[in-house]
Amino acid sequence: MTYREEYFKLQKLQNKYLNNSAIKSLLMDDGGFSEFFQLVNNFDKPIKDENKLNKNIERVMSGEPLQYVLGYAYFVNSNYIVTPEVLIPRQETEQLVVTALTLIMKIFGKDPEITIVDIGTGSGILGIYLKEYFQKSHVICTDISKNALEIAKQNAIKHNVEIEILEGSILEPIKDKKVDVIISNPPYIGNKDTVDEATLKYEPRLALFANPKTYFYEEILKAIDFEIVKDEFFMAFEIGEDMTKELTEIIEERYPGLIYKFDQDICGKDRFLYIIKKEGYVNVI
């Protein structure tokens, strides 16, 4: 069967999981194509591995996330290895790291010699992405999950970057460090009823849920108390859309004087928190 024949056959089989985007991705994966136009240019060539493709189609149609079926996910302009041991990267996390990159350059310079920590790194995407841009930086990726850190190692090799990978919970791996930047997309879901069925079934609960939902933010902010962060520092977090009031109270009560800002995602939901302590940078965020 050719790609053309399979493409139009699958269009008739679409369900809520096997949509047009998934169909394109599955066929592109079979042919090793990185762009859709490459698939179109090879539409009349035979499928390389029909058995594998059919199994992948069945998995997607049953509700298994496409990224886990393929074994990788696109993040910004590249792809990263993902397995059920790590979260699938979302568009919101792309916005977090791209904005963080811009702010780091404003605060510390174009390619500063700074230490950046990605706490709860999962697949390593945040730390690896920043290391690719800030080559003089020392990037540390931490996670409590050994399996997740193995994926992070594989992604570091795939992207040809050197990062330090440390196992442990929250601040424990960096308790003897002095860092300039902390970035994190920690667990922040307090109620499983707010999570869609596929996420709940397939993605790691360890990376999703927190009780209370502000727990990991409170623990990471203790880097200030323990003097893990330097006198001048920057923090960037992805947050739940209903957390601004609670996080504001925590910052104002425990860390008065910090410059902080909440920002919205493309859907207009409060999704990000940026914190800075640096002389003369009141308006940088």
The pLDDT of residue 284? 64
> Residue 263 in 3-state DSSP?
strand
Domain ranges in the chain? 3-63, 91-277
The pLDDT of residue 194? 76
**Helices 20-31 and 50-61: crossing angle, nearest 10°?**
150
Distance CA 94, CA 77 (A): 10
The whole-model pTM stands at 0.93
The pLDDT of residue 181? 98
User: Over its length of 285 residues, how does the chain's per-residue pLDDT go in tens digits?
Assistant: 999 999 999 999 999 899 999 999 999 999 999 999 999 999 999 999 999 999 999 999 999 999 999 999 999 989 999 999 999 999 999 999 999 999 999 999 999 999 999 999 999 999 999 999 999 999 999 999 999 999 999 999 999 999 999 999 999 999 999 999 999 999 998 877 677 888 889 999 989 899 999 999 999 999 999 999 999 999 999 999 999 999 999 999 999 989 999 999 999 999 999 999 987 665 666
Distance CA 188, CA 72 (A): 24
CATH topology for 91-277?
Answer: Rossmann fold (3.40.50)
The pLDDT of residue 283? 65
The pLDDT of residue 175? 96
The pLDDT of residue 279? 76
Q: Which H/E stretch holds residue 74?
A: strand 72-75
Q: Return phi, psi of residue 110, to 5°.
A: -70, -45
Q: Kindly give, in sequence order, each residue whose CB lies less than 8 Å from that of residue 127, ignoring residues fewer than 6 positions away.
A: 116, 117, 118, 121, 139, 140, 141, 152, 163, 183
